Amino acid sequence: MAFDVQAPLQSAARSLSELDQRVRDDLACLCYPPANWVVPTAGDDHVHDVVVIGGGMCGLVASFALIGAGIPNIRIFDRSPAGFEGPWLTYARMETLRSPKQLVGPAYGMASLTFRAWYVAQFGGDAWAALDKIPRPMWMEYLRWYRRVLDLPVENEVEVTSIRPEGALLRLALSGTGARETSVLTRKVVMATGRDGLGHPSIPDFVSGLPQKFWAHSSHHIDFAALRGKRVVVIGVGASAVDNAAEALEAGAAEVRHLIRRKEMPRINKLMGIGSFGFTAAFPHLDDAKRWKIMNYSLRTQTPAPRGSTLRVSRHPNAYFHFDAAVEKTELEGDEVVVTTSQGKTVRADFLILGTGFGVDPLARKELDGYADKILLWRDRFTPPEDERNADLGKFPYLADDFTFLEREPGQAPWLSRIHSFNSGATASLGKVSGDIPGISEGAAWLAREIAAKFYIENFDRYWQRLLDYDTPELRGDEWSASPLPDDERTAARRQA
């Protein structure tokens, strides 16, 4: 039977308050939250079972999954002010999300938690049918509601500055105006730190000699109003590059020129074409060569900018796309940036925007200072064929099946098995289940199951003792009476004789 994904919801909530109640009813039917089954850790200081770093989409659904798995002794820290977690209202500048509106995202199997249910409750079924793509600010409104209706205890303006081993535990140093203490102890850490959660913005060497006032990465704060009447060069043509070019044009830039090293515009989102439950389930089970082949191919073909974002730029007559024009060097002449391209030609600009994306590099994470070099990377584990070499992909961590880091040299940093990389850094090892909307619920369920299994295995003796000690009877002893077995015919005859 086929279902129309655009069809009105016959039982849809008619207001947000009605949807709130529906969510609460659904959670009650699912017995959420279940009792805490985890054996507590003895000690003078309180020990959390899990600390989740990041209160954006990944952190929220991961925390919901953990609590739903009977692991409520958690803390959730986010360095941003409340309601501004993640990129949606900071450096993300697209008008709408790329993902189709009907994807369930962080709903975790609950229809009442979907964006669709939230949207229809406020605007109705006809508005849903007419909606094309989800406006970016609206997605943040939905995540704020998601956090509120699930009562997830995110602590904002708290930054984790370091993660250090302390015996069998991890001690996290905290800073920020929202921090209630300077450090906390935990058994496990989940780094739900998003797109740049295991690396940093990719800053090419050619801007190293330029003063910061002449350039910015697309993830930086940019004063677009100050670009009015200015000549802007945007490096790259991916989604973030295109969105930033559009912002500059709409702010009144005199001209915006894309400098693109590729010979033509990427047009096909390859991974979207093979996305399925089977791909998500199978990817971590593929051998290294197959996983590398898929990810390398995806990175090399590049995900194109969305059609709407590209049209948002090209509709301006003062927007230009220059292909086969890689940047060779930049120089400053007075207040003018001179860019030399691979064609031997120069472009003059007042400001550069680097749409060069993010790099995955555990060595760049200050939380892991002192031992990041002990993390096993893909380049340590796998040597690809010559035609599939990719230095950037080689920097991805080679993760265990539970999202944890592995040691480059066994025995050098055993505590790495307590840190779960639930962010974009997990992509090469486990697939796209810990950063993007389509697979985030599957990833969170997987993460919670693995953490629960580790807790049980680590304290098996305690759980075995619980089994031995359990003595609550289901029967009271008054439900039956003992009866003697009846005599068979031979026994009766012998007695009579």
464-468: average pLDDT: 96
Question: Token pair for residue 30?
Answer: 């699912």
Give pLDDT, residue 1. Answer: 46
Q: How many CB atoms lie within 10 A of CB 277?
A: 9
pLDDT at 5: 57
* β-pair type (327-333, 336-341): antiparallel
Distances (CA, A) of 210 to 218, 336, 338: 16, 11, 11
Position 397 scores a pLDDT of 96
Q: What is the mean pLDDT of residues 457-484?
A: 94
Q: Is 171 left (phi over 0), alpha (psi -120 to 50) or beta?
A: beta
pLDDT at 438 over 80: yes
Strands (E), 279-400: 319-322, 327-333, 336-341, 346-349, 351-354, 358-360
CATH number of the domain at 32-99+134-199+360-458, out of 3.50.50.60, 3.20.20.105, 3.30.70.1070, 1.10.1040.10? 3.50.50.60
The letter for the amino acid at 409 is E
Alpha carbons 183 and 174: distance in angstroms, whole number: 5
pLDDT of residue 273: 76
308-334 average pLDDT score: 96
Nearest to 445 by CA among 92, 109, 102: 109
Distance CA 123, CA 211 (A): 48
Question: What mean pLDDT is predicted for residues 266-274?
Answer: 84
CA distance 479 to 142: 54
Q: What is the pLDDT of residue 411?
A: 95
**Residues in the chain, how many?**
497
Q: Do the domains 32-99+134-199+360-458 and 203-267+304-356 sit in the same CATH topology, yes or no?
A: yes
- Residue 338's SS3 state is strand
> What sections of 99-176 are H helices per DSSP?
115-123, 125-130, 136-150
Report, as an integer, the average pLDDT of 299-313.
92
Quick: pLDDT tens for 415-428. Answer: 999 999 999 999 99
Q: Which tokens in the block code for residue 3?
A: 């279902």
Among candidate residues 252, 263, 262, the one with its CA nearest the CA of residue 318: 252
Domain boundaries defined on the chain: 32-99+134-199+360-458, 203-267+304-356
Over residues 140-159, mean pLDDT: 98
Torsion of CA 460, 462, 464, 468, to 10 degrees: 180
- Average pLDDT for 477-488: 88
Q: How far is CA 86 from the centre of its chain?
A: 10
Based on C-alpha coordinates, what's the Rg of the chain?
A: 28
Query: What pLDDT, on the 0 to 100 scale, is given for residue 8?
Result: 58
- Strand-strand pairing, 419-420 and 351-354: unpaired
Distance CA 160, CA 153 (A): 16
Alpha helices in 404-488 (DSSP H): 427-430, 440-458, 460-469
Contact 56, 190 (CB under 8 A): no
DSSP-derived 3-state class of residue 283: helix
Least confident of 220-224, 344-348, 390-394, 488-492: 488-492
Strand partners, 169: 166
Does pLDDT of 472 surpass 90? yes
- To the nearest 10°, the Cα dihedral for 395, 399, 429, 380? 40
Q: What b/e sequence results for 431-454 when a residue is b if at least 16 CB atoms lie within 10 Å of its CB, and e otherwise?
A: bbbbbbbbbbbbbbbbbbebbbeb
pLDDT tens-digit series, residues 356-380: 988 888 888 889 999 999 999 999 9
Q: Is-cis flag, bond preceding 106, omega within 30?
A: no
pLDDT at 2 over 70: no
Residue pLDDT, tens place only, 79-132: 999 999 999 999 999 999 998 999 999 999 999 999 999 999 999 999 999 999
What's the pLDDT score for residue 6?
A: 57
| Biggest CA pair distance of the chain | 129
Q: Both tokens of residue 225?
A: 């109003």
Write the single-letter amino acid at 138: M
Cβ atoms of 340 and 333 within 8 Å: the answer is no
Q: Report the percent of the chain where pLDDT is more than 70.
A: 96
> Tokens 């990810």 appear where?
295
Tell me the angle at which helices 440-458 and 57-68 cross, rounded to the nearest 10 degrees. 50
- φ, ψ for residue 357, nearest 5 deg: 75, -160
Which amino acid is located at 15 in the chain?
S
CATH (residue range 203-267+304-356):
3.50.50.60
Residue (of 484, 495, 288) closest to 384 by Cα position: 288
pLDDT at 487 over 80: no
Side chain identity, residue 273: G
Lowest mean pLDDT among 116-130, 264-278, 445-459: 264-278
**Would you say residue 349 has pLDDT above 90?**
yes
More reliable by pLDDT, 71 or 272: 71
Q: pLDDT for 194-213, tens place per residue?
A: 877 777 889 999 999 999 99
Average pLDDT on 34-57 reads 93
